[in-house]
Chain A
Amino acid sequence: GIQVEQSPPDLILQEGANSTLRCNFSDSVNNLQWFHQNPWGQLINLFYIPSGTKQNGRLSATTVATERYSLLYISSSQTTDSGVYFCAVLPSGTYKYIFGTGTRLKVLA
């Protein structure tokens, strides 16, 4: 089955720093989403981005489907950005999202 790899697994930043999170996937996908999991466990939608580039405030994402990767950019990080970021892909011909193992981000004040 499809493999989804996220890097780095852990990231510690000072407040105000920028970061790039990466998601590689091993096969063609219909959809890709980025989520932020809050401390209570809920997955918060960041981007629905099967291809192209999107921006939402300090966050932006780019997916290059032909090269099978997606990037999540966080600029001017804040302590509230801390948490786990997941990439999830919907492989072609299936109805189930496959999640990466996540990037655990900690932003220090």
Chain B
Amino acid sequence: KAGVTQTPRYLIKTRGQQVTLSCSPISGHRSVSWYQQTPGQGLQFLFEYFSETQRNKGNFPGRFSGRQFSNSRSEMNVSTLELGDSALYLCASSLEEDTEAFFGQGTRLTVV
């Protein structure tokens, strides 16, 4: 069966712009979560959605937002990009909130 799909795979943006990343979970999975990976901070939790509701948010500024659609697909948006937002953004899906999580290939965002 198809895994978690993230698009785009690579992205280059300019400071001040905004960006939207997409995540399609494994069919039937209702929980989608997002993580940011940087060399300095490691893997950090951004937010988690279940049945279109955000249930947890990590310690990130309000410029980071997300949503989940009725088909469980999720998007995350970063506005007013900063150089420090350059990172690998990973999306994970799971059947329920406490079952095994599967990750997509990630979107590598570079802010210049």
Contacts and interface: CB of A to CB of B under 8 A. Distances in A.
A35 B37 CA distance: 14
Given A48-B100, A96-B56, A42 B33 contact: no
A95 B50 contact: yes
A95 B102 contact: no
Interface stretch (B16-24, B41-49, B60-68, B71-79): B41-49
For chain B, what secondary structure do more than half of its interface residues adopt (helix, strand, loop), or is it mixed? Answer: strand
How big is chain A's contact interface, by range? 20 to 34
A36 B51 CA distance: 29
Interface of B: 31, 33, 35, 37, 42-45, 48, 50, 55-56, 58, 88, 90, 92, 97-106, 108
15 contacts: A31-B99, A33-B101, A41-B90, A41-B105, A42-B103, A43-B90, A48-B100, A90-B98, A94-B56, A95-B48, A96-B58, A97-B92, A99-B35, A99-B42, A99-B43
